[in-house]
Amino acid sequence: MFTGLIEDVGRVRRWRAEPEGGELTFETALPGREISLGDSIAVNGCCLTVVRKTGRRLAVDVSPETLKRTNLADLREGARVNLERPLQLNDRLGGHMVTGHVDAVGRITRVEPSGDFTFFRFRAPAAVGRLLVPKGSIAVDGISLTVNECTSRSFSVAIIPFTLAHTNLQDRGVGDRVNLEADIIGKYVQQFVKAYS
C-alpha cells in the first residue's frame, strides 16, 4: 500500500523490455540501507519488487502482465520515474490509499499553465472514468491527485508548483501515456453495488 506522495524522482539507467518480461534498473536518492531485496517499491505507480541493489541503483523485475497494462514499456534510458516506498502502519496518510496496481493507461490531452498552477487534462478509459468524482482522488503515474472535474472519458487536475517540481510531470506533454489507478474505495463500492443490482 502506498500514499501517492512521491519520495524521489529516479532516473532509468538500464531497461531491458521483452514480451516475456523485463528488468528495469534506476538510480535513486532514496536511502539504500532502508531498502532490502524483496521489498516493494512503486515506480510510476506500479508496485514492483526490488531484486538487486548496487550503490544508488535498484533493479526490479517487470512481468509481461505489467508491461501490457502500464506505460513502463515506453520508458527509455535517462527517463525520470516517480518513486515511493510502501506505507508503514505508523506513517501519516497524506495522500490517499494507493495499491500500486494500475487500472489502465490514460493519455495527456492538454497542459495549460495558469499563474502558479499547471492544469492537466487526461483521457481515461470508461472503466476508470466511471469511478471518478469531482474532488475525489486518482493516482497518475503514482502521484496522488485531486480530480477537478470529470466526464466518463476524461478528467482534469490542477498541479501546484511543488508537485510539478518534485515529480516527473514536469517532463510530460500532450500525447504522453500515464498510469492511472482509481480510488480503491470507489472500486469496492462499484463491486458491491453490482453484486446487489
Residue 91 lies in a domain: no
Q: What percent of the chain has pLDDT over 70?
A: 100
Same domain, yes or no: 79 and 144: no
C-alpha 19/C-alpha 7 separation (Å) is: 30
Residue 197 has pLDDT above 80, yes or no: no
Residue 180 lies in a domain: yes
**Residues 144/96, Cβ–Cβ less than 8 Å:** yes
Residue 115 lies in a domain: yes
> Which position has the grid cell 520515474?
81
Residue 93 lies in a domain: no
Question: What is the pLDDT, as a whole number, of residue 145?
Answer: 97
Same domain, yes or no: 130 and 178: yes
**Residues 4/139, Cβ–Cβ less than 8 Å:** yes
The number of folded domains in the chain is 2
Q: Where would I find the H helices in the chain?
A: 64-69, 126-129, 161-165, 184-195
**Domain range for residue 183?**
104-195
C-alpha 78/C-alpha 26 separation (Å) is: 9
Same domain, yes or no: 18 and 61: yes
Residue 176 lies in a domain: yes
User: What CATH number should be reported for the domain holding residue 23?
Assistant: 2.40.30.20
Can you give the pTM of this predicted structure? 0.94
